[in-house]
């Protein structure tokens, strides 16, 4: 199963990894690793994360205060965003058309 990140979600990941990497290179790599582990979990168990609105699901990353918002589609999961947990929920809701 392939997970697709929409372009805005790819940018979210780049920004977060860059932010952590600027503070400490190892920390940036650890963020990317935590995200990779989260994506692997989504691939293995796409319906295991709770729904937060309609069909949109949220996966919390380990060790980092970030959430991955995604949809499970027949072609595979689609990541809508990767946001800091304290960010205004309207940011991911706008992307989802909520």
If you compute the radius of gyration of the chain from its CA atoms, what whole number of angstroms results?
A: 13
Query: What does DSSP say about strands 76-84 and 4-5: parallel, antiparallel, or unpaired?
Result: parallel
pLDDT for 75 equals 93
Band of pLDDT at residue 98, cut at 50, 70 and 90: low
In this prediction, residue 86 carries a pLDDT of: 85
Confidence of residue 1 (pLDDT cuts 50, 70, 90): confident
Average pLDDT, the chain: 91
Give the largest Cα separation in the chain, rounded.
Answer: 39
Domain range for 28: 4-96
Average pLDDT on 5-25 reads 95
Q: Distance between CA atoms of 98 and 91, rounded to whole angstroms?
A: 10
Give buried/exposed letters for 63-85 (b at 16+ CB in 10 A, else e): ebebbbbbbbeeeebbbbbbbee
- The total number of structural domains in the chain stands at 1
> What pLDDT score was predicted for residue 52?
93
pTM of the model: 0.89
**Cβ atoms of residues 72 and 1 within 8 Å:** no
Q: Where residue 49 falls among pLDDT bands split at 50, 70, 90?
A: very high
Q: Which residue has the tokens 């295991």?
A: 48
CATH number at residue 11: 3.30.2310.20
């Amino acid at each position: 199963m392939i997970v697709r990140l929409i372009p805005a979600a790819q940018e979210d990941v780049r920004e977060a990894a860059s932010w952590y990497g600027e503070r400490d290179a190892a920390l940036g790599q650890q963020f990317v690793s935590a995200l990779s582990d989260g994506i692997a979990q989504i691939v293995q168990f796409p319906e295991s994360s709770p729904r937060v609105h309609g069909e949109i699901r949220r996966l919390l990353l380990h060790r980092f205060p970030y959430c991955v918002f995604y949809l499970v589609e027949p072609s595979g999961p689609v990541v809508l965003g990767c946001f800091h947990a304290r960010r205004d929920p309207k940011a991911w809701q706008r992307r989802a058309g909520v």
